[in-house]
Structure 1
Amino acid sequence: MAEPTATFDDVLPEALRFRSPAPLVDIGANLTHESFGRDLEAVIQRARAAHVDTLILTGTDREHAEQAVALARQYPGLFATAGVHPHDASGWTPELARAMAALHREPEVVAVGECGLDFNRNFSTPAEQERAFEAQLGLAAESGLPVFIHERDAGRRMLEILHAWRDDLSQAVVHCFTGERDTLYGYRDLDLHIGLTGWLCDERRGHHLRELVREIPLNRLMVETDCPYLLPRNLPAKLKGRRHEPALLPWIVREIAHWRGLDEQALAEATTATAREFFRLPTDAAD
């Protein structure tokens, strides 16, 4: 017998049913991940109940970008990005470039990416990553769309590449920022945006981010879950299955507000205003 589909109420315990005091934009939600296949409708309902009204679905390759666009057409308040993750950079071809350029013309697509450099795992070689990344920066320059950037253990090279391209790009956000102070200040000098996740909520590795969070200009800060990954480790209750989802974004906002010494509602309002401007969202996208 098939397992029953999860419903709205049977995933999050009462202690994890947060509600933001102001609408939120989750700028990085991997809702095309297979773990959301059985209960996507309920996931979106729980997000809205938490006041996470706008979701930017991350397209990390052609297949997932097309799926993200399809979901954005189906559900109000959902939008998509389209790009090739550095892990998959070895597969970059002229045909794939044309497919990405076509996706960037779709009205549901609000950014080029996720693209960038990941020198931590090197599933694709650094040379392959740089080739695919610069090709996608070229597509961003042609389309005028902002760039949704992945960077891990590649801050110095990322800064070098972006210095050469910055004048040709409209805007760019380094999503899921986990770098050090020097890298952050390099991104600030380039007038980039920064996305923060539940990494800040991890007592094992988030300490340096707690010190840096005040040094991110408020008008350059956005928030994201990167779900189903990066579930906050300091949640007030255990979550069965440990799959992260957008409804938990208010907890991350609360944590960021604490370390910034800022009111939670003020942070929610600021990050949402910044995200709506950055992605050029319709005025009613987060209402």
Structure 2
Amino acid sequence: MRNASYREDYDRLPQAIIAIGNEYPANHVVQPHSHRRSQLLYSASGMMRVTTEHGAWMVPPERAVWLPAGELHSVQLTMGPLTTSSVYILPDAAPGLPTTCQVVGMWPLMRCLLLEAIDVPLSYDPPSRDGLVMALLLQELRRLKPVLPPSLPFPRDEKLGAICNRMLEQPSAHDTIDHVRSELGMSRRAFTRLFRVETGMSFAAWRQQACLFAAMPRLATGEAVTTVALELGYESPAAFTSMFKRMLGAPPSRYFQSIGAPLRGGSEG
């Protein structure tokens, strides 16, 4: 089903797994919502940011995001337009599937099955060919493996969470512990301890991930590494590229080639 929004009555369908396709314009935002079924959300092109109560994930092209049943989430297109394929699975249909939100890799068979599945009627007969396609898709879901995109856990502390959300929208390499801890009225030691307890990361690592969140959509649409790096507060393009490679395992040019979104002319790295 293409261009169909998820409806609450889909939760009551007896089929263990159903699929829906959709198309979204650039910069579209899907407001916070949840559903009783778990969801695998995939797009062959475009880039999206998925945000839950627990954190945020950047989902590049040719990757998918897994959302467990009941997870409140929103989706923001950061590079679009976006053509998506989503499968929705009853929670007890396939034991062993992930229980936390994560970005996962795709493989050729899964891509083909997702494209086929969105044309399967919601009320398919399990013994039919359509049912066999969906059964194979359900089996392939067991092969989901997390990949390494930028992800940001959110603190539960209300005041710290508000600051982190603000930093996520306007990150800068110039943000320091002293800037933030003074705003909270905390000592450096107390802030460092609180931040790691709340996020599981150091402040420096979290800040770098926030910068990656801001940089990736811009790089993927052709902005030069020099421009992005300097606007994010890095001293030089080389310093930004070094951070990018350390966090994602490859410099910007090779990283985007590996996900099928090669950088356009005028980008270094």
- TM-score between the two structures when normalised by the length of structure 2: 0.30
Higher relative contact order (CA 8 A, sep 6+): 1
Structure number with higher helix proportion: 1
